[in-house]
Amino acid sequence: MSPQRRPPRGGEQGAVLAALAVRAFRRYLLGQLASNIGTWMQRAAQDLLVLQLTGNSGRAVGVVTALQFLPQTLFGLTGGLLADRCPRRRLLLITQTAMAAQSLLLGVLTVTGTVSLSCVYALAVALGTATAVDGPARNALISDLVAPGQVAAAVGLNSAQFNVARILGPAAAGLTVAAFGTGPVFLINAVSYLGVLYGLSTIPPGALRHPERRRPGHERPGDAFRHIATTPELLLPITLIAVVGTFGLNFQVTLSLMAVTVFHSGAAAFGCLSAAYATGGLLGALRTAGGKRPPTARRLVTATAAFGALEATLGLTPGYGTFTALLVPVGYAAVVVTTTANALTQLHADPRLRGRVLSVHFLVLLGGTPVGAPLVGVVSDALGARSVLVLGGAISAACALALSAWSTERRRLGQRRKAKDPAGAPAADGGRSKQMDLLRSQGE
């Protein structure tokens, strides 16, 4: 690496501190932390509630998870379009309020004993619809709050708070369900939205960095697909995360199934499994936020292959103790994959298209869940919960290796084409070759 390209020592650590020094981003981060703790409590309690209502049906857990993420597939691109067209803070205030209302209604129904499986299904769809609009705006807002050089660090810090919530939320949910039942958990989540609403409402409008926007009516969802297709730095992470999101990242379903159907334990054991996975995720998020090197495509491919191998091994681990311990490195690798892909997407997306590009990113990451979650339930009922982990890990690792081989072959073809070009090739071709060489070097 030339001196011009080598990042300064401690540069990324400086970016982390600089991002935290931004008051608006700090308020956003703390509000998200409070809300996400409640959200993870609800996710854990919802799975346990469905198991209680259906007599431990893995298929039903898969269906409710699919219904929650189905709107991401149907309306995710619309959410990205709104994130580019509307003021993002105002949009988030609306979606977060709607999500709080959903949690409150589910909590009241459960506490009063009137909840049914159909109610859980309907409210899962409602929550998913609000999330489909909320997700692109919430993630694009990060780039509005910090300087471009702080985006990777800010994405890592956002992932870190998400995984702190993932640790605290399911553990708190397990203890709360064991003591009071599932209903109070949903009510706690409804109250937790006050944190993010306060954080959003107190961000000064002048603190937002708004990219130049086109006039309403000129934005089209298809612009994002064309941008991704013609930008190699976006195409690779979005393709890879699509496969991993569909087949490898179904732990919301598999951990509850492992706790109940394999280890024959209850809510507390499920909370411990979720906390172990999230602990690894927190370590992975902190590693990516404070790393000494910027995110690259090669590191993403390597992390995905490692994640797939670890997940497949996890499915073969026999005891509860060793299974819980191995969840820590699995969570670490999973968050390195998702955070690196997110950072690459934010860094290389055109600012005017960032909301729509991120909507595609989350469409393929979360939109595959309506396919993956029911498949998890079916495979678990037929072959056991362990087989889900083995198959998901194997598919993720195979995809990473295939993309690595494709990238290597593509680089070789480019080198052969360059070697065959005559010395007097037109300047335009030479400029294109130099541009592709630069893209390849950035991907390494």
pLDDT for the residue numbered 431: 40
Domain containing residue 185: CATH number? 1.20.1250.20
Q: How far apart are CA 82 and CA 88, in angstroms?
A: 8
Q: How far apart are CA 131 and CA 124, in angstroms?
A: 10
Confidence check: pLDDT of 254 > 60: yes
pLDDT at 219: 59
Return the pLDDT at 102.
94
Is 165 within 8 Å of 116 (Cβ atoms)?
A: no
Is the model's pLDDT at 425 over the cut of 60?
A: no
Is pLDDT of 441 > 70? no
Q: Which pLDDT does position 435 carry in this prediction?
A: 39
DSSP state of 212: P
- Determine what percent of the chain is predicted with pLDDT higher than 70: 82
Question: Is this structure's pTM higher than 0.75?
Answer: no
- Above 90 in pLDDT, residue 149? no
Does residue 112 or residue 355 have the better pLDDT? Answer: 112
**Mean pLDDT across the stretch 60-77?**
80
How confident is the model at residue 332, as a pLDDT?
92
Q: Where are the alpha helices (DSSP H) in 220-368?
A: 221-229, 232-243, 251-257, 267-289, 297-316, 320-348, 354-366
Compute CA 1 distance to the chain's CA centroid, rounded to the nearest angstrom.
Answer: 31
Average pLDDT over residues 303-320: 91
Length of the chain: 444
pLDDT of residue 14: 66
Q: Is the pLDDT of residue 393 over 80?
A: yes
**Of residues 95 and 347, more confidently modeled:** 95
DSSP for 45-77 reads HHHHHHHHHHTS-HHHHHHHHHHHHHHHHHHHH
Q: Is the pLDDT of residue 213 over 80?
A: no
d(CA 387, CA 385): 5
CB 294 within 8 A of CB 152: yes
Q: Is 153 within a domain?
A: yes
What's 328-369 look like in SS3? HHHHHHHHHHHHHHHHHHHHHCCHHHHHHHHHHHHHHHHCCH
How far apart are the C-alpha atoms of 12 and 30, rounded to whole Å?
Answer: 21
6, part of any domain: no
Joined together, the tokens standing for residue 389 give 């982990």
What amino acid is encoded at 88 in this protein? R
Give the residue with greater pLDDT, 296 vs 117.
117
Q: What is residue 185's predicted lDDT score, i.e. its pLDDT?
A: 92
How is residue 424 written in tokens? 């007097």
The model's pLDDT over 216-229, given as tens digits with 9 standing for 90+, comes to 545 566 777 888 88
Domain that holds residue 82: 11-209+217-443
> What is the rounded CA–CA span in Å between residue 397 and residue 305?
4
> Which has more pLDDT, 204 or 182?
182
Say what the pLDDT of residue 8 is. Answer: 41
Residue 443 has pLDDT above 50, yes or no: no
Give me the residue label for tokens 């190699």: 232
pLDDT at 362: 76
Q: Is residue 5 part of a domain?
A: no
Specify if 420 maps to a domain.
yes
Q: What is the mean pLDDT of residues 309-330?
A: 91
* 48 in Cβ contact with 176 (< 8 Å): no
Q: What is the pLDDT, as a whole number, of residue 330?
A: 93
pLDDT at site 108: 94
- Decide which of 205 and 329 is more confident: 329
The predicted pLDDT at position 371 comes to: 66
Q: Which one-letter amino acid corresponds to residue 80?
A: G
H helical segments located in 55-147: 58-85, 88-111, 117-145
Q: Is residue 438 part of a domain?
A: yes
How many CB atoms are closer than 10 A to CB 181? 16
Instruction: Return d(Cα 311, Cα 118) in angstroms, integer.
Output: 33
- Are 440 and 414 spatial neighbours (Cβ–Cβ below 8 Å)? yes
- Domain count for the chain, please give it: 1
Q: Which of 51-55, 72-76, 279-283, 423-427 has the lowest mean pLDDT?
A: 423-427
